[in-house]
Structure 1
Amino acid sequence: MGPFDWLPIAPLEPLHLDWLNGIELAVLRLDRIDPLISGNKWFKLTEHLRQAEQAGARGIISLGGAYSNHLHALAAAGERFGFATVGLLRGHPQDTPTVLDLKAFGMHLHWLGYAGYRARHGADFWLPWREQYPQLYPVPEGGGGLPGALGCAVLVEQVRGQLSKLGWDAYDAWWLAAGTGTTLAGLALAEAGAHPVYGAMAVPDDHGVAQNVGAIVAGGYELLEASRGGFAKADAALLDFMQTTERATGLPLEPLYTGKALLALKQQIEAGRFSPGTRLIFVHTGGLQGRRGFTG
């Protein structure tokens, strides 16, 4: 496997919105690192790929849904860098735009149904798959766990290296969506308490975000509810906010993660959480390919 030394620099851009009320906001555009291997997914994969290479694996087997950003980036990376990929998918066979891409990228798919997918956290879940694909390295859903977090830790260095082009000498905090919490955990690890990391949870509490993050890092972060009724739930207010924001700034958003996170930030600013002059880094975690199948 390999090479996996590709480490793109995500551009840091100022974002001007009328509701910021004196707060300065910059966006780390992970959505702009690559047309296909986009967002935080590549960063979460890098350490997993290094471990796979060290283990002598010929490819990766991982999990996700029919619109999975993680599987989409993994399959695209497999095609580009020449390693095998297998995807274990939630639900029953369907040809979403994402699934069609996975097939085009050469990923071999297995549909687990819903009960089969819920069993993914079981102690023996991977046993039959390791037997069927002994040459492949298993990666958790979404590229999670400590390796995924360590891969995201480099984003702190990337931001610090670009502050001068904003005219900033420092920043005060991070703000991003949390789906598994892996990227948030990586930022908190790298910050080591220097700056707080705020995670707007795009999924309900029962998805285990707090447990995932707590298993990786002891502190330096705060999780806030932002799911707006559940994973992949989008109401009229969210969709209107996204449309208004995109029209005003040109920043593309999607309703599962980035849209919810930015709207949650607006609500927190309006509630007085941050004082004027605060400098915030908003992480655009990508996921724009998933917009193709979103119906509201």
Structure 2
Amino acid sequence: MSVVVPDWTPHAPLQRFCLPWSEAAGVELAVLRLDLIDPLISGNKWFKLSHHLARAQAESAAGVISLGGAHSNHLHALAAAGKRFGFATVGLLRGHAQQTATVDDLLAFGMQLHWLGYAGYRARHAAGFWLPWQAQYPGFYAVPEGGGGLSGALGCMALLPMVREQLAEIGWADYDAWWLAAGTGTTMAGLLLGEAAAHPVHGALAVPADHGVAQQVQGIVQEAGLPVGPYHLHEACRGGFARRDDELLAFMFNAEEQSGLPFEPLYTAKALMALRQQVEAGYFARGSRVVFVHTGGLQGRAAALSSSAPLL
């Protein structure tokens, strides 16, 4: 059976939320709740997948294959979409076979898994990497890690009208900036393309600088050939990808209590903590209105809180 995806356009609510540090600085916050679009196909991952899946359907692909780790939000969303919409999925995973809540879900959703080891996964950018997998799974459409690339960014442009259509409902005429976690930079690039220089976009780096987020963002916008406005990357990884510490967790639990919103420590809590640091430093003028994108990932919250070791 080839890939066929219904015309599904999920909607995320835009909500105002207040925290003591933002109120003290006179900075208004609103959050785009992508965590609420669906119980399983959650967060920004669906939007990064949408154009890839449309291309897979246009090519009459036999299925979809992609890459990620044992806690990958991207693979979780892809496998859930495959289960719901009835197309085959294959996941190429970093490291060696292990059991996690995410891996359990991938298997339950029917995704075929292959563990590449660490050296094998590092070779994913090498020429010819996909050739043996295309031979093993002929006719499968390959999605880049994290749903990246221009197709992933184009899907994320849908977030802009979603916000603009709800501004009046929260009493805003406009906003001054976007703020979101950046893992590959794909969602950030999509916002830049959609904004066409109207508003700046701020990405809180949940990964170290050597992961190449800046280069990926620049590559996507150059490939698109569309005008983009100012954007800024802010350090937020706290020592490495998937690392969390007592200060971060204390901040997250406190922010949840104060705002009534759920977060997870790998992306959303790091992004919010970096926003607090910039707000308290006076980065945004009093009266500024900032849209914070909740990128989801809550299905991995329990695993992310269960150990202080990095989730590799």
Q: TM-score range by the shorter chain?
A: over 0.9
Task: Please say if 1:113 is aligned against 2:123.
Answer: no
Q: Return the offset for 1:69.
A: 0.2
- Tell me the residue number matched to 1:277: 287
Secondary structure at 2:302 match in 1: helix
Task: Please say if 1:155 is aligned against 2:159.
Answer: yes
- Do 1:4 and 1:50's aligned partners in 2 also have CA atoms closer than 8 Å? no
- 1:1-296 matches, within 5 Å, as 1-20=3-22, 21-217=25-221, 219-220=228-229, 221-294=231-304, 295-296=307-308
Choose 217-226 or 78-87, whichever is displaced more: 217-226
Supply the distance in 1 between the matched residues of 2:5 and 2:150 (Cα, whole angstroms).
21
Q: Return the offset for 1:216.
A: 1.1
Q: Return the offset for 1:233.
A: 1.0
Supply the distance in 1 between the matched residues of 2:63 and 2:293 (Cα, whole angstroms).
29
Supply the distance in 1 between the matched residues of 2:33 and 2:47 (Cα, whole angstroms).
13
Q: Return the offset for 1:292.
A: 2.2
Supply the distance in 1 between the matched residues of 2:5 and 2:41 (Cα, whole angstroms).
15
Structure 1 residue runs of 4 or more that deviate by more than 4 Å after TM superposition: none
> Which ranges in structure 2 are unaligned for 5 or more consecutive residues?
223-227
Q: Deviations over 1:2-34 (max 9, x none)?
A: 233101111100111110021110000000000
Q: Deviations over 1:209-258 (max 9, x none)?
A: 01110001254211111111010111111110001011111111111100
Q: Return the offset for 1:180.
A: 0.2
Supply the distance in 1 between the matched residues of 2:16 and 2:111 (Cα, whole angstroms).
37
Supply the distance in 2 between the matched residues of 1:292 and 1:105 (Cα, whole angstroms).
19
- Do 1:4 and 1:46's aligned partners in 2 also have CA atoms closer than 8 Å? no
- Do 2:181 and 2:267's aligned partners in 1 also have CA atoms closer than 8 Å? yes
Q: How many residues align?
A: 296
- Do 1:4 and 1:49's aligned partners in 2 also have CA atoms closer than 8 Å? no
Q: Return the offset for 1:58.
A: 2.0
Supply the distance in 2 between the matched residues of 1:279 and 1:292 (Cα, whole angstroms).
32
- Do 2:5 and 2:53's aligned partners in 1 also have CA atoms closer than 8 Å? no
Q: Return the offset for 1:293.
A: 1.4
Q: Return the offset for 1:135.
A: 2.2
Q: TM-score, normalised by structure 1?
A: 0.99
- Tell me the residue number matched to 2:225: none
- 2:173 is aligned with what amino acid? D
- 2:21 is aligned with what amino acid? W
- Do 2:5 and 2:54's aligned partners in 1 also have CA atoms closer than 8 Å? no
Secondary structure at 2:221 match in 1: coil
- 1:274 is aligned with what amino acid? F
> Which ranges in structure 1 are unaligned for 5 or more consecutive residues?
none
Matched-pair identity in %: 68
- Do 1:47 and 1:151's aligned partners in 2 also have CA atoms closer than 8 Å? yes
